[in-house]
Chains A and B, each alone.
Chain A
Amino acid sequence: MHKSTGILRRALVFAPALGLLLLLAGCAAQDYPQTTLQPRGDFAHLVDSLFRTTLLWATVVFILVEGVLVYAIFRFRGKPSDAEPSQVHGNTTVEILWTVVPAVILAFIAVPTVQTIFRTSSTPPGEVVEIEVIGHQWWWEYRYPGLKIVTANELHVPVNKTVSLKMTSGDVVHSFWIPQLAAKRDVFPKKYNPLWFKAEVTGDFPGQCAEFCGLQHGRMGLRVLVDSQPVFDAWVKQQQTGSPLVDAGKVPASMSDSAYRATGDSVMLKGKLAFMTGGCIACHAMAGTATAGLTILQGPNLSHVGSRTTIVAGMLKNTPTNLRHWLTDPQAVKEGSLMKLPRPLTEDEITNLVAYLRAHQ
């Protein structure tokens, strides 16, 4: 009996240690691109250090209380034939003690909590990149009012610059979540919620809608692409071409029909025709077409869709094959998606559209 309690005692020490190890193993962050445990932005760091404080206290309390519980379970096992144990009804001293001690521990969590609440509640002063985020069923729209850009699903930001997000929704409640850079904040129609962050490294950070928003909530992904300043500047320039917010989408002569005709680029002309006659124009803004200047349409601005790494809210890599799949039957790719084509496209139309869309870098 003595021996077995010894083993049990050792098991008691090892079990939580093992659990922690497992947790840490489970947290090797490179395996989890969407992890909250490897912050890469200042906001996420504030949250993370608070999280680590709470985790530390939770672990201490966990080991102590579970330890005492398991100890008591083994220490006080009895047989029906044993004498009745002493009939203790309570003990005021220990009862006061175990009311006060947890309260004190909570204070160690409460103080940094309140500090962090206030530190995260307003954007730090200084120069910021302002971006408007609009949640839609089931994709994300971004507008850069200062830079005059409208884009979708992939948010480009410069490294080491504070980004200030003003977030709203075009339909139902969503939640914009970028775990490694900041955290999440719900977005509501007719209301603006803020979130800010400063990314500390360049890279590609996945995120996702975190508030249930209907059928395709599970496929409402996004990415944040943190660029070095020169890369970001180049991207901005590119996106401004034909942007609905710049001269109502007016495009340079090199992107006009006559320029296409002059170079004998019939695919672009045919693609554009399919874009008009296939109904795309009803939902998508597109440089060089009648909708170039519109920001009120139901679907994403496609003027630079070719420059994205993914399409359909992060669901598909932006490859010709995937684009073809998507245009062939959007409802088969993403059931219920609000991209409802007025008529199926022909093989030729799809081929031309794929080339046309991919050329819109």
Chain B
Amino acid sequence: MATSVLEHSAVHHAEAKSGLWSWITTVDHKRIGILYGASAFLFFLLGGIEAFVIRLQLMTADNTLVSPEFYNQLFTMHGTTMIFLGVMPLSAMFFNYFIPLQIGARDVVFPRLNAFSYWVFLLGGLFINAGFFFNAWPNAGWFGYANLTSAQYSPGLNTDFWVIGLQILGIASIAAAVNFFVTIINMRAPGMTLLRMPMFVWMSFITQILLLLAFPVITVALVFLMMDRHFGTHFFIPAGGGDPILWQHLFWIFGHPEVYILILPAFGIVSEILPVFSRKPLFGYTAMVFSGVFIAFLGFGVWSHHMFATGMGPFADAFFSLSTMLIAVPTGVKIFNWIGTIWGGSLQFKTPMYFALGFIAMFIIGGLSGVMHSSPPADLQQTDTYFVVAHFHYVLFGGSIFALTGGAYYWLPKMTGRMLNETAGKIHFWLMLIGFNLTFAPMHILGLNGMPRRVYTYPAGLGFEFWNGLETVGAAIIVVSQLVFIVNLIVSLRRPRNAPADPWHGATLEWSIPSPPQEFNFPEVPEVKSSIPLWDLRRELGSLPEPQRVSGAGIHLPNPSYYPLVAAIGVFVTLGGILFAQPHFPWYVITLTGVAVLFYGVYRWAFEPAG
């Protein structure tokens, strides 16, 4: 009898292995990770195209390549896309795929909730972009400052697509954050105490806490804004006694932690790559953990540094200035610890290492310009200029994107079972580094010399032409670098599997299983004695044998399910219905239908046998 059950489950799992339906119903964290990665990469390319059109428009003075309206849509969607649909879900790809692998778990705690998060994210991303087809792409900036976003000054559906789309995406983020938070708390392999977690897991853990605390704030703000636009409230409308500055506070109480949501996973990735390619453990593990915690904590007490020009008064200015400067200390600790990690090491110059080192070099620059505008009087010149654009691109592109790309070169062999070409990887790196600096370094000069942000053009005679032209050349080089990556990726995917389990001599558990991992990850739950379990093992055994694929018979895995998708569609329709909230239109019929679908999905999901 026992055998027949085992056979049955083996057959069952074999069935689920391929085909579109298997992806739609998957609850496997690795497949969901791949879905996140593929979708996010496409959105990332879209955001890149938007950026490149922006650069073409700004290449010369008084250019008329795009209309002012389309330009405003482009910069709004570039910011929104890169943050919510590019960098965050690219991080989510790594959370999904590697948190369970690094903590020695077979899946996340709530696999179906995980699928639900992904589908809600995808639908939210599509929703926010759908405005394009109705000539209503969002156009009021990714920061959506009130009262420009009020119904009076932003009639039309553009801002509705944005407000509703972000609420949908927020649900996805919060659901995913709950999942990873609980997973990290509960699913760690025996012996993996909190202070033995890989640094990527630590930084991801902190990120989930930030998500859980920051996203409710933006959700509240978005609900207020939606009420103002459709249901006659005046939260942000001065004529009705509301206050546009309230929006700014709510937005940045979310928005500053959001910066750390975008960069902490990158910190984690780099902290994985550097030790492996220096053949030396991370320098100052404990300091790395606590500096991350400290950064996150302080991150909730600095939001008004985005608002020094609003006239908050000297005491508030001084407080937020000092708290912001304070954050430089733990951030500096991280940078010094990374340098301490490579110091005295035996550096192996593989592509992931190039990107990790590039990350440090660029992030330092972004950090220093950040300190420069933590000084409110100085910021009165810098805010809303290209100096700030330079700053946050050094942090988010030079920082997050470099680290995520390094992470891709580091971990894709594990995910796909195929190595990427090293030469192409290095070409990718150098093109990206050169293109990046040509694009963004001159923005410091432009900003300090008086070029404001978010302008669809600039007049001749202010001296902006040369640097803008150079920046567009840089952007073209970045485009080429991405093409190199895409070709590398496609070529590698078309080849047969060639990646060993542990191509880099990694220190963490994901390298102890075949590439790509089997559905159940670990045939036996591993035991852990330090933060570098594989290096411990290698020292013990002299060398590590290549792990073999084994039958997963008898390993309990959750069943595939399409109810998460049903529930996600319910969320989508519920919130999407509000788009039609016009007087005399029964929009609530749509919304109530969505609620019904959501309830149906959740109900069936709740009573579906788990596995």
A contact residues vs B (CB 8 Å cutoff): 23, 26-27, 29, 31-37, 44, 46-48, 50-51, 54-55, 57-58, 61-62, 65-66, 68-70, 72-73, 76-80, 82-91, 94-95, 98-99, 102-103, 106, 109-110, 113-114, 116-118, 120-121, 137, 171-173, 175, 177, 179, 183-186, 188-191, 193-194, 206, 208-219, 221, 314-315, 335-336
Q: Which of A33, A90, A106 contacts B462 (CB 8 A)?
A: A33
Docked Cα-Cα span, A5 to B39, in Å, equals: 44
Docked Cα-Cα span, A190 to B234, in Å, equals: 14
Closest 9 CB pairs of A and B: A78-B346, A34-B450, A218-B455, A183-B380, A26-B445, A32-B449, A32-B463, A121-B314, A193-B311
Q: Which of A51, A57, A84, A179 contacts B279 (CB 8 A)?
A: A84
Docked Cα-Cα span, A47 to B336, in Å, equals: 31
| Residues A98 and B336 in contact in the complex (CB < 8 Å), given A78-B346, A90-B283 | yes
A-B contact pairs, 25 of them (CB 8 A): A32-B462, A34-B463, A35-B448, A66-B364, A78-B348, A85-B278, A88-B281, A88-B344, A89-B281, A117-B318, A121-B313, A121-B314, A173-B147, A175-B384, A177-B384, A177-B452, A179-B381, A179-B450, A188-B238, A191-B238, A208-B455, A215-B69, A217-B456, A218-B457, A335-B69
In the complex, chain A residues whose CB is within 8 Å of the CB of B332: 98-99, 102
Docked Cα-Cα span, A87 to B535, in Å, equals: 11
**A78–B279 contact, CB under 8 A?**
yes
**B346–A82 contact, CB under 8 A?**
yes
In the complex, chain B residues whose CB is within 8 Å of the CB of A114: 318, 321-322
| Residues A76 and B364 in contact in the complex (CB < 8 Å), given A102-B332, A113-B375, A218-B457 | no
| Residues A208 and B381 in contact in the complex (CB < 8 Å), given A78-B279, A110-B322, A315-B459 | no
| Residues A110 and B371 in contact in the complex (CB < 8 Å), given A50-B377, A72-B343, A211-B145 | no
Bin the interface of chain B by size.
Answer: 35 or more
Not counting A37-B448, A51-B375, A109-B371, a sample of 4 additional A-B residue pairs whose C-beta atoms are within 8 angstroms of each other reads: A54-B375, A177-B384, A217-B454, A219-B457
**Nearest Cβ distance between residue B129 and chain A, in whole angstroms?**
21
List which B174-197 residues lie within 8 A (CB) of chain A.
none
B473 at the interface (CB under 8 A from A): no
Q: Which of A26, A189, A217 contacts B455 (CB 8 A)?
A: A217
Main secondary structure of the interface of B (DSSP, over half): helix
Q: B145's closest neighbor in chain A, by CB?
A: A173
| Residues A73 and B335 in contact in the complex (CB < 8 Å), given A116-B377, A117-B377 | no
| Residues A335 and B278 in contact in the complex (CB < 8 Å), given A78-B345, A172-B153 | no
Q: Which of A37, A172, A208 contacts B449 (CB 8 A)?
A: A37
**A58–B148 contact, CB under 8 A?**
no
B368 at the interface (CB under 8 A from A): yes
Docked Cα-Cα span, A94 to B287, in Å, equals: 12
Docked Cα-Cα span, A50 to B375, in Å, equals: 8
Write out, one digit per residue, whether chain B residues 416-454 have a CB within 8 A of any chain A CB (1) or not (0): 000000000000000000000000001011001111111
In the complex, chain A residues whose CB is within 8 Å of the CB of B453: 210, 212
B340 at the interface (CB under 8 A from A): yes
**A86–B360 contact, CB under 8 A?**
no
B contact residues vs A (CB 8 Å cutoff): 67-69, 71-72, 140-141, 145-148, 153-154, 238-239, 244-245, 278-281, 283-287, 309-311, 313-314, 317-318, 321-322, 325-326, 328-329, 332-333, 335-337, 339-340, 342-349, 357, 360-361, 364-365, 368-369, 371-372, 375-378, 380-385, 442, 444-445, 448-459, 461-463, 467
Docked Cα-Cα span, A209 to B364, in Å, equals: 31
Q: B154's closest neighbor in chain A, by CB?
A: A214
**Nearest Cβ distance between residue A31 and chain B, in whole angstroms?**
4
**Nearest Cβ distance between residue B523 and chain A, in whole angstroms?**
29
